Amino acid sequence: MEKTRNAELYQEANVYSPGGVHTSIRNVDPHLIFTKAEGAYMEDVEGNRFIDYQAAFGPFVLGHNYPFVNEQVKEAISRTDLFGVGTTDMEIELAKKVCEHVPASEQVLFCNSGSEATYHAIRLARAVTEKKKLIKFQGCYHGWHDYVARNMLSDWDKIGERDPGSAGMMDEAIDNTLICTFNDLADVEETLQKNKGEVAAIILEPIPHNIGCILPEDGFLQGLKTLCSEYGALLIFDEVVTGFRHSIGGFQEIAGVTPDLTTLGKAMANGYPMAAIAGKKEYMSRFNTQPGGDVWFAGTYNGHAVGTAASLATIEMMEKEPVHEHIFRLGEKMRSGITEIHDMLNIDAFVAGFGSVWTTYFMDFQPKKYSDLEYNNGDLYVRYRKKLLEKGIFKMPMNMKRNHISYSHTDKEIDLTLEAIEDVLRELI
Ligand code: PMP
Protein backbone atom coordinates (compact mmCIF):
# COMPACT_ATOMS: atom_id res chain seq x y z
CA MET A 1 0.00 0.00 0.00
CA GLU A 2 1.27 3.44 -0.87
CA LYS A 3 2.40 5.42 2.12
CA THR A 4 0.68 8.74 2.64
CA ARG A 5 2.55 11.96 3.47
CA ASN A 6 0.88 11.95 6.91
CA ALA A 7 2.23 8.44 7.62
CA GLU A 8 5.70 9.27 6.30
CA LEU A 9 6.05 12.33 8.52
CA TYR A 10 4.59 10.53 11.53
CA GLN A 11 7.27 7.86 11.13
CA GLU A 12 9.94 10.56 11.04
CA ALA A 13 8.45 12.28 14.11
CA ASN A 14 8.84 9.00 16.01
CA VAL A 15 12.56 8.91 15.30
CA TYR A 16 13.14 12.20 17.09
CA SER A 17 10.46 12.25 19.79
CA PRO A 18 8.96 9.39 21.82
CA GLY A 19 5.60 8.58 20.22
CA GLY A 20 6.15 11.41 17.73
CA VAL A 21 3.97 13.83 19.71
CA HIS A 22 4.60 16.32 22.50
CA THR A 23 1.86 15.69 25.05
CA SER A 24 0.48 12.43 26.36
CA ILE A 25 -2.88 12.29 24.60
CA ARG A 26 -1.94 13.42 21.09
CA ASN A 27 -0.91 10.00 19.82
CA VAL A 28 -4.17 9.01 18.16
CA ASP A 29 -4.85 6.96 15.04
CA PRO A 30 -5.01 8.16 12.25
CA HIS A 31 -1.87 10.23 12.76
CA LEU A 32 -2.34 13.55 11.06
CA ILE A 33 0.34 16.17 10.51
CA PHE A 34 -1.28 19.59 10.63
CA THR A 35 0.05 22.51 8.63
CA LYS A 36 -2.69 25.18 8.70
CA ALA A 37 -5.52 26.43 10.88
CA GLU A 38 -7.95 29.25 10.31
CA GLY A 39 -11.28 30.11 11.92
CA ALA A 40 -13.28 26.90 12.38
CA TYR A 41 -10.99 24.86 10.11
CA MET A 42 -7.72 22.92 10.24
CA GLU A 43 -5.77 21.43 7.34
CA ASP A 44 -3.29 18.56 7.24
CA VAL A 45 -0.17 18.14 5.13
CA GLU A 46 -2.15 16.33 2.41
CA GLY A 47 -4.57 19.24 2.09
CA ASN A 48 -7.48 17.53 3.92
CA ARG A 49 -9.69 20.13 5.60
CA PHE A 50 -11.55 19.55 8.86
CA ILE A 51 -14.14 21.49 10.83
CA ASP A 52 -12.43 21.61 14.20
CA TYR A 53 -14.30 20.95 17.43
CA GLN A 54 -11.35 19.75 19.47
CA ALA A 55 -10.10 23.36 19.62
CA ALA A 56 -6.68 22.11 20.85
CA PHE A 57 -8.38 20.90 24.06
CA GLY A 58 -10.26 24.15 24.52
CA PRO A 59 -8.37 27.40 24.01
CA PHE A 60 -9.95 28.40 20.70
CA VAL A 61 -13.02 30.28 21.85
CA LEU A 62 -12.81 32.83 19.01
CA GLY A 63 -11.38 30.44 16.41
CA HIS A 64 -7.96 29.58 15.01
CA ASN A 65 -5.62 32.35 13.94
CA TYR A 66 -8.18 34.94 14.93
CA PRO A 67 -7.27 38.17 13.06
CA PHE A 68 -7.90 40.68 15.88
CA VAL A 69 -5.91 38.61 18.39
CA ASN A 70 -3.05 38.09 15.93
CA GLU A 71 -2.94 41.80 15.08
CA GLN A 72 -2.75 42.75 18.75
CA VAL A 73 0.00 40.18 19.37
CA LYS A 74 1.97 41.43 16.35
CA GLU A 75 1.57 45.04 17.48
CA ALA A 76 2.77 44.13 20.99
CA ILE A 77 5.85 42.21 19.85
CA SER A 78 6.79 44.92 17.39
CA ARG A 79 7.56 47.17 20.37
CA THR A 80 8.18 44.85 23.35
CA ASP A 81 8.78 41.25 24.46
CA LEU A 82 9.81 40.24 27.98
CA PHE A 83 11.45 42.01 30.90
CA GLY A 84 13.31 40.39 33.79
CA VAL A 85 12.62 42.95 36.51
CA GLY A 86 9.59 45.18 36.94
CA THR A 87 6.27 44.81 35.16
CA THR A 88 4.64 46.03 31.94
CA ASP A 89 1.77 48.32 31.06
CA MET A 90 -0.02 45.34 29.49
CA GLU A 91 0.32 43.14 32.59
CA ILE A 92 -1.24 45.85 34.74
CA GLU A 93 -4.08 46.33 32.26
CA LEU A 94 -4.73 42.59 32.06
CA ALA A 95 -4.63 42.09 35.83
CA LYS A 96 -7.20 44.88 36.17
CA LYS A 97 -9.45 43.24 33.56
CA VAL A 98 -9.31 39.83 35.26
CA CYS A 99 -10.12 41.39 38.65
CA GLU A 100 -12.97 43.37 37.08
CA HIS A 101 -14.57 40.29 35.49
CA VAL A 102 -13.80 37.19 37.59
CA PRO A 103 -15.68 37.20 40.93
CA ALA A 104 -12.99 35.33 42.92
CA SER A 105 -10.22 37.57 41.62
CA GLU A 106 -9.33 40.26 44.16
CA GLN A 107 -5.75 39.79 42.95
CA VAL A 108 -4.20 37.75 40.15
CA LEU A 109 -0.80 36.41 39.07
CA PHE A 110 0.10 35.21 35.58
CA CYS A 111 1.93 32.05 34.56
CA ASN A 112 2.08 30.00 31.36
CA SER A 113 0.06 26.81 31.77
CA GLY A 114 -2.92 25.46 33.67
CA SER A 115 -0.69 22.94 35.46
CA GLU A 116 1.45 25.75 36.86
CA ALA A 117 -1.66 27.60 38.00
CA THR A 118 -3.13 24.61 39.90
CA TYR A 119 0.28 23.84 41.42
CA HIS A 120 0.51 27.40 42.79
CA ALA A 121 -3.10 27.34 44.04
CA ILE A 122 -2.55 24.12 45.99
CA ARG A 123 0.77 25.27 47.42
CA LEU A 124 -0.85 28.54 48.53
CA ALA A 125 -3.78 26.69 50.15
CA ARG A 126 -1.31 24.53 52.10
CA ALA A 127 0.60 27.62 53.26
CA VAL A 128 -2.56 29.47 54.30
CA THR A 129 -4.19 26.57 56.18
CA GLU A 130 -0.96 24.90 57.39
CA LYS A 131 -2.54 21.59 56.38
CA LYS A 132 -1.33 19.00 53.90
CA LYS A 133 -4.16 17.04 52.34
CA LEU A 134 -6.08 17.83 49.20
CA ILE A 135 -9.47 16.58 48.00
CA LYS A 136 -9.95 16.10 44.27
CA PHE A 137 -12.74 14.36 42.36
CA GLN A 138 -12.52 11.19 40.31
CA GLY A 139 -12.48 12.20 36.62
CA CYS A 140 -11.32 15.80 37.07
CA TYR A 141 -8.02 16.83 35.47
CA HIS A 142 -5.89 19.61 36.86
CA GLY A 143 -2.54 19.10 35.11
CA TRP A 144 0.50 16.86 35.13
CA HIS A 145 2.11 17.51 38.53
CA ASP A 146 2.32 15.03 41.42
CA TYR A 147 -0.40 16.72 43.54
CA VAL A 148 -3.18 16.10 41.05
CA ALA A 149 -2.07 13.70 38.28
CA ARG A 150 -4.17 10.82 39.55
CA ASN A 151 -7.67 9.39 39.16
CA MET A 152 -8.69 10.84 35.84
CA LEU A 153 -9.81 8.03 33.52
CA SER A 154 -9.34 5.19 36.04
CA ASP A 155 -10.34 1.60 35.23
CA TRP A 156 -13.82 0.86 36.53
CA ASP A 157 -12.54 -1.50 39.22
CA LYS A 158 -9.79 0.93 40.28
CA ILE A 159 -11.87 4.04 41.02
CA GLY A 160 -10.35 5.84 44.00
CA GLU A 161 -7.09 3.88 43.73
CA ARG A 162 -3.76 5.20 42.45
CA ASP A 163 -3.40 5.32 38.64
CA PRO A 164 -0.74 3.24 36.89
CA GLY A 165 0.88 6.26 35.15
CA SER A 166 2.49 7.57 38.31
CA ALA A 167 6.05 6.24 37.99
CA GLY A 168 8.56 8.81 39.23
CA MET A 169 6.06 10.74 41.30
CA MET A 170 6.53 11.37 45.02
CA ASP A 171 4.44 8.93 47.06
CA GLU A 172 3.86 11.56 49.73
CA ALA A 173 2.36 13.98 47.22
CA ILE A 174 0.11 11.38 45.60
CA ASP A 175 -1.04 9.82 48.86
CA ASN A 176 -2.01 13.17 50.34
CA THR A 177 -4.54 13.64 47.55
CA LEU A 178 -7.87 12.13 48.57
CA ILE A 179 -10.38 11.14 45.92
CA CYS A 180 -14.10 11.91 46.22
CA THR A 181 -17.18 11.40 44.03
CA PHE A 182 -18.50 14.41 42.11
CA ASN A 183 -22.04 15.50 43.03
CA ASP A 184 -21.83 13.58 46.33
CA LEU A 185 -21.66 16.00 49.25
CA ALA A 186 -22.06 13.18 51.79
CA ASP A 187 -18.90 11.54 50.44
CA VAL A 188 -16.99 14.84 50.71
CA GLU A 189 -18.24 15.44 54.25
CA GLU A 190 -17.28 11.91 55.33
CA THR A 191 -13.78 12.39 53.86
CA LEU A 192 -13.39 15.74 55.63
CA GLN A 193 -14.59 14.18 58.88
CA LYS A 194 -12.16 11.23 58.59
CA ASN A 195 -9.30 13.65 57.89
CA LYS A 196 -10.38 16.34 60.30
CA GLY A 197 -7.85 19.17 60.70
CA GLU A 198 -5.76 17.85 57.78
CA VAL A 199 -7.44 19.01 54.56
CA ALA A 200 -5.98 22.20 53.06
CA ALA A 201 -8.23 22.46 50.01
CA ILE A 202 -10.87 21.01 47.75
CA ILE A 203 -10.04 21.44 44.06
CA LEU A 204 -12.52 20.78 41.26
CA GLU A 205 -13.55 21.66 37.76
CA PRO A 206 -16.96 23.25 38.46
CA ILE A 207 -18.09 21.32 35.38
CA PRO A 208 -15.81 18.29 34.92
CA HIS A 209 -15.22 18.75 31.18
CA ASN A 210 -12.34 16.30 31.28
CA ILE A 211 -14.93 13.55 31.34
CA GLY A 212 -17.19 15.33 28.88
CA CYS A 213 -19.84 17.35 30.59
CA ILE A 214 -21.04 16.34 34.05
CA LEU A 215 -23.08 19.23 35.41
CA PRO A 216 -22.97 20.05 39.12
CA GLU A 217 -26.33 19.31 40.71
CA ASP A 218 -28.21 22.14 42.41
CA GLY A 219 -26.53 23.01 45.68
CA PHE A 220 -23.37 20.96 45.08
CA LEU A 221 -20.96 23.87 44.55
CA GLN A 222 -22.52 25.92 47.36
CA GLY A 223 -22.44 22.80 49.58
CA LEU A 224 -18.69 22.45 48.97
CA LYS A 225 -18.20 26.08 49.91
CA THR A 226 -20.10 25.57 53.17
CA LEU A 227 -18.12 22.41 53.97
CA CYS A 228 -14.85 24.22 53.27
CA SER A 229 -15.66 26.96 55.75
CA GLU A 230 -16.84 24.42 58.36
CA TYR A 231 -13.65 22.37 58.07
CA GLY A 232 -11.16 25.23 57.50
CA ALA A 233 -10.21 24.26 53.94
CA LEU A 234 -9.95 26.52 50.89
CA LEU A 235 -12.18 26.02 47.86
CA ILE A 236 -10.35 26.08 44.50
CA PHE A 237 -12.32 26.23 41.25
CA ASP A 238 -10.11 25.09 38.40
CA GLU A 239 -11.64 27.14 35.58
CA VAL A 240 -8.87 26.40 33.07
CA VAL A 241 -11.52 25.04 30.66
CA THR A 242 -14.66 26.85 31.85
CA GLY A 243 -13.09 30.29 32.46
CA PHE A 244 -13.78 32.81 29.67
CA ARG A 245 -15.44 30.04 27.62
CA HIS A 246 -18.72 29.85 29.55
CA SER A 247 -18.70 33.49 30.53
CA ILE A 248 -16.13 36.24 30.84
CA GLY A 249 -16.32 35.74 34.62
CA GLY A 250 -16.11 31.94 34.41
CA PHE A 251 -18.67 29.35 35.52
CA GLN A 252 -18.42 30.78 39.06
CA GLU A 253 -20.25 33.86 37.77
CA ILE A 254 -23.06 31.73 36.31
CA ALA A 255 -23.29 29.45 39.37
CA GLY A 256 -23.18 32.38 41.80
CA VAL A 257 -20.61 30.59 43.96
CA THR A 258 -17.30 32.36 44.54
CA PRO A 259 -14.35 30.14 45.49
CA ASP A 260 -11.37 31.23 47.61
CA LEU A 261 -8.96 30.67 44.73
CA THR A 262 -9.42 30.06 41.03
CA THR A 263 -7.22 29.01 38.13
CA LEU A 264 -7.61 30.23 34.55
CA GLY A 265 -5.98 29.43 31.21
CA LYS A 266 -6.92 28.13 27.74
CA ALA A 267 -9.72 30.41 26.41
CA MET A 268 -8.21 33.38 28.21
CA ALA A 269 -5.68 33.88 25.37
CA ASN A 270 -7.45 32.12 22.47
CA GLY A 271 -4.62 29.67 21.82
CA TYR A 272 -1.56 31.57 22.99
CA PRO A 273 0.24 30.36 26.15
CA MET A 274 -1.23 32.07 29.21
CA ALA A 275 -2.66 31.03 32.57
CA ALA A 276 -3.44 32.66 35.89
CA ILE A 277 -4.14 32.06 39.55
CA ALA A 278 -6.49 34.47 41.25
CA GLY A 279 -8.18 34.78 44.61
CA LYS A 280 -8.71 36.64 47.82
CA LYS A 281 -6.13 39.36 48.49
CA GLU A 282 -5.42 38.10 52.01
CA TYR A 283 -4.27 34.78 50.48
CA MET A 284 -2.65 36.07 47.26
CA SER A 285 -0.46 38.47 49.24
CA ARG A 286 1.32 35.46 50.74
CA PHE A 287 3.12 34.93 47.40
CA ASN A 288 6.71 36.20 47.40
CA THR A 289 6.02 38.53 44.48
CA GLN A 290 5.01 40.75 47.43
CA PRO A 291 8.01 41.77 49.56
CA GLY A 292 7.95 39.59 52.69
CA GLY A 293 5.71 36.97 51.05
CA ASP A 294 6.59 33.42 52.06
CA VAL A 295 5.05 31.34 49.21
CA TRP A 296 7.29 30.90 46.20
CA PHE A 297 5.98 32.20 42.86
CA ALA A 298 8.28 32.59 39.88
CA GLY A 299 8.65 32.05 36.15
CA THR A 300 10.99 33.56 33.56
CA TYR A 301 8.26 33.81 30.94
CA ASN A 302 5.41 34.95 33.22
CA GLY A 303 3.71 37.99 31.74
CA HIS A 304 5.32 37.60 28.29
CA ALA A 305 4.00 40.13 25.78
CA VAL A 306 2.58 37.40 23.52
CA GLY A 307 0.19 35.80 26.04
CA THR A 308 -0.62 39.12 27.67
CA ALA A 309 -1.53 40.86 24.40
CA ALA A 310 -3.51 37.80 23.26
CA SER A 311 -5.49 37.78 26.53
CA LEU A 312 -6.23 41.50 26.33
CA ALA A 313 -7.43 41.10 22.74
CA THR A 314 -9.58 38.03 23.57
CA ILE A 315 -11.20 39.80 26.53
CA GLU A 316 -11.78 42.92 24.41
CA MET A 317 -13.58 40.80 21.81
CA MET A 318 -15.78 39.32 24.55
CA GLU A 319 -16.57 42.76 25.92
CA LYS A 320 -17.43 44.28 22.55
CA GLU A 321 -19.01 41.49 20.53
CA PRO A 322 -21.74 38.93 21.28
CA VAL A 323 -19.19 36.10 21.54
CA HIS A 324 -20.99 34.12 24.25
CA GLU A 325 -24.44 34.71 22.77
CA HIS A 326 -23.21 33.29 19.44
CA ILE A 327 -21.38 30.23 20.77
CA PHE A 328 -24.18 29.40 23.22
CA ARG A 329 -26.79 29.57 20.41
CA LEU A 330 -24.74 27.28 18.18
CA GLY A 331 -24.03 24.93 21.10
CA GLU A 332 -27.76 24.60 21.73
CA LYS A 333 -28.41 24.06 18.02
CA MET A 334 -25.78 21.32 17.92
CA ARG A 335 -27.06 19.52 21.03
CA SER A 336 -30.72 19.63 20.03
CA GLY A 337 -29.87 18.69 16.43
CA ILE A 338 -27.90 15.62 17.50
CA THR A 339 -30.59 14.63 20.00
CA GLU A 340 -33.24 14.78 17.22
CA ILE A 341 -31.08 12.50 15.07
CA HIS A 342 -30.70 10.02 17.94
CA ASP A 343 -34.48 10.02 18.50
CA MET A 344 -35.20 9.58 14.80
CA LEU A 345 -32.77 6.64 14.50
CA ASN A 346 -33.62 5.16 17.89
CA ILE A 347 -30.09 5.38 19.21
CA ASP A 348 -29.35 4.99 22.92
CA ALA A 349 -27.22 8.05 23.43
CA PHE A 350 -27.19 11.14 25.59
CA VAL A 351 -25.98 14.53 24.43
CA ALA A 352 -24.55 16.43 27.38
CA GLY A 353 -23.15 19.92 27.35
CA PHE A 354 -23.14 23.49 28.46
CA GLY A 355 -22.86 26.66 26.36
CA SER A 356 -20.47 26.04 23.48
CA VAL A 357 -19.48 22.56 24.68
CA TRP A 358 -21.00 19.17 23.96
CA THR A 359 -20.30 15.46 24.35
CA THR A 360 -22.18 12.49 22.93
CA TYR A 361 -22.24 9.64 25.44
CA PHE A 362 -23.38 6.35 23.98
CA MET A 363 -25.52 5.47 26.99
CA ASP A 364 -29.17 6.11 27.70
CA PHE A 365 -29.08 8.34 30.76
CA GLN A 366 -27.44 11.52 31.93
CA PRO A 367 -24.27 10.74 33.89
CA LYS A 368 -23.87 12.50 37.24
CA LYS A 369 -20.49 11.11 38.25
CA TYR A 370 -17.49 9.29 36.76
CA SER A 371 -18.64 5.75 37.63
CA ASP A 372 -21.87 6.27 35.59
CA LEU A 373 -19.66 6.34 32.49
CA GLU A 374 -19.07 2.61 32.79
CA TYR A 375 -22.30 2.35 30.77
CA ASN A 376 -20.90 4.49 27.96
CA ASN A 377 -20.01 2.56 24.78
CA GLY A 378 -16.52 4.01 24.18
CA ASP A 379 -15.73 1.56 21.34
CA LEU A 380 -18.76 2.72 19.38
CA TYR A 381 -17.60 6.32 19.88
CA VAL A 382 -14.14 5.54 18.45
CA ARG A 383 -15.74 4.11 15.27
CA TYR A 384 -18.15 7.07 15.10
CA ARG A 385 -15.32 9.58 15.46
CA LYS A 386 -13.21 7.88 12.76
CA LYS A 387 -16.08 7.95 10.28
CA LEU A 388 -16.76 11.60 11.07
CA LEU A 389 -13.10 12.35 10.46
CA GLU A 390 -13.42 10.82 6.98
CA LYS A 391 -16.23 13.33 6.40
CA GLY A 392 -14.07 16.25 7.53
CA ILE A 393 -15.36 16.63 11.11
CA PHE A 394 -12.63 16.73 13.75
CA LYS A 395 -13.76 15.77 17.26
CA MET A 396 -12.01 14.81 20.46
CA PRO A 397 -10.57 11.29 20.19
CA MET A 398 -12.64 9.97 23.10
CA ASN A 399 -16.07 10.87 24.38
CA MET A 400 -14.74 11.20 27.91
CA LYS A 401 -13.66 14.65 26.73
CA ARG A 402 -15.69 17.46 25.22
CA ASN A 403 -16.07 19.23 21.87
CA HIS A 404 -16.02 23.00 21.52
CA ILE A 405 -17.68 25.57 19.26
CA SER A 406 -15.92 28.86 18.58
CA TYR A 407 -17.01 32.35 17.49
CA SER A 408 -15.70 31.48 14.01
CA HIS A 409 -18.15 28.57 13.62
CA THR A 410 -21.35 29.53 11.83
CA ASP A 411 -24.72 27.87 11.16
CA LYS A 412 -23.14 26.47 7.99
CA GLU A 413 -20.57 24.40 9.92
CA ILE A 414 -23.19 23.18 12.41
CA ASP A 415 -25.53 22.14 9.55
CA LEU A 416 -22.70 20.30 7.75
CA THR A 417 -21.77 18.56 10.99
CA LEU A 418 -25.35 17.49 11.73
CA GLU A 419 -25.66 16.08 8.20
CA ALA A 420 -22.41 14.14 8.63
CA ILE A 421 -23.52 12.83 12.05
CA GLU A 422 -26.80 11.55 10.60
CA ASP A 423 -24.99 9.80 7.70
CA VAL A 424 -22.41 8.20 10.02
CA LEU A 425 -25.00 6.98 12.50
CA ARG A 426 -27.07 5.47 9.67
CA GLU A 427 -23.92 3.60 8.53
CA LEU A 428 -23.14 2.42 12.07
CA ILE A 429 -26.54 1.04 13.07
N1 PMP B 1 -7.02 22.18 34.51
C2 PMP B 1 -7.92 21.75 33.62
C3 PMP B 1 -9.38 21.75 33.99
C4 PMP B 1 -7.51 21.29 32.37
O5 PMP B 1 -8.42 20.80 31.48
C6 PMP B 1 -6.14 21.34 32.04
C7 PMP B 1 -5.64 20.90 30.67
N8 PMP B 1 -6.45 20.14 29.91
C9 PMP B 1 -5.24 21.78 33.01
C10 PMP B 1 -5.72 22.22 34.23
C11 PMP B 1 -3.78 21.82 32.73
O12 PMP B 1 -3.49 22.85 31.85
P13 PMP B 1 -2.17 22.82 30.95
O14 PMP B 1 -2.32 21.69 29.99
O15 PMP B 1 -2.17 24.18 30.30
O16 PMP B 1 -1.02 22.63 31.88
**Which of 131, 136, 266, 369 does the annotation list as catalytic?**
266
Q: Is residue 216 domain-shared with residue 98, that is, in the same domain? A: yes
User: DSSP secondary-structure letter at 224?
Assistant: H
Of all atoms in ligand 1, which is nearest to the CA of residue 116?
A: 16
Q: Is residue 107 domain-shared with residue 154, that is, in the same domain? A: yes
**195-226 residues labelled b (16+ CB within 10 A) or e (exposed):** beebbbbbbbbbbbbbbbbbbbeeebbebbbe
Clarify whether 10 is annotated catalytic.
Answer: no
* Residue at a domain's end among 282, 300, 320: 320
User: DSSP secondary-structure letter at 393?
Assistant: E
From 271, 266, 262, 274, select the one nearest 201 (Cα to Cα). Answer: 262
Give CA–CA dist 268/285, Å, rounded. 23
Q: Tell whether ligand 1 has an atom less than 6 A from the beta carbon of residue 240.
A: yes
Q: Is residue 279 domain-shared with residue 334, that is, in the same domain? A: no
* Residue at a domain's end among 279, 298, 320: 320
From 76, 85, 75, select the one nearest 300 (Cα to Cα). Answer: 85
Q: Is residue 356 domain-shared with residue 371, that is, in the same domain? A: yes
CATH number of the domain bearing residue 275: 3.40.640.10
* Residue at a domain's end among 320, 348, 379: 320
102 by Cβ neighbours in 10 Å (0-12 / 13-18 / 19+) ranks as buried
Q: Is residue 161 domain-shared with residue 185, that is, in the same domain? A: yes
Of all atoms in ligand 1, which is nearest to the CA of residue 265?
A: 15
In a domain, 17, yes or no: no
Q: Tell whether ligand 1 has an atom less than 6 A from the beta carbon of residue 237.
A: no
Here the ipTM equals: 0.99
Give CA–CA dist 311/272, Å, rounded. 8
Q: Is residue 80 domain-shared with residue 157, that is, in the same domain? A: yes
In a domain, 412, yes or no: yes
**Which of 53, 66, 119, 141 does the annotation list as catalytic?**
141
**Separation of 57 CA from ligand 1 center, angstroms?**
9
Clarify whether 272 is annotated catalytic.
Answer: no
From 399, 147, 356, select the one nearest 266 (Cα to Cα). Answer: 356
Q: Is residue 126 domain-shared with residue 194, that is, in the same domain? A: yes
Domain count, the chain: 2
C-alpha 105 chain-centroid distance = 19
Q: Is residue 131 domain-shared with residue 55, that is, in the same domain? A: no
Q: Tell whether ligand 1 has an atom less than 6 A from the beta carbon of residue 115.
A: yes
- Range of the structural domain that residue 313 is part of: 67-320
Clarify whether 238 is annotated catalytic.
Answer: yes
pLDDT per residue as tens, the chain (429 positions): 567 999 999 999 999 999 999 998 899 989 999 999 999 999 999 999 999 999 999 999 999 999 999 999 999 999 999 999 999 999 999 999 999 999 999 999 999 999 999 999 999 999 999 999 999 999 999 999 999 999 998 999 989 888 777 889 999 999 999 999 999 999 999 999 999 999 999 999 999 999 999 999 999 999 999 999 999 999 999 999 999 999 999 999 999 999 999 999 999 999 999 999 999 999 999 999 999 999 999 999 999 999 999 999 999 999 999 999 999 999 999 999 999 999 999 999 999 999 999 999 999 899 999 999 999 999 999 999 999 999 999 998 887 889 999 999 999 999 999 999 999 999 998
In a domain, 11, yes or no: no
**Separation of 415 CA from ligand 1 center, angstroms?**
30
Q: Is residue 310 domain-shared with residue 332, that is, in the same domain? A: no
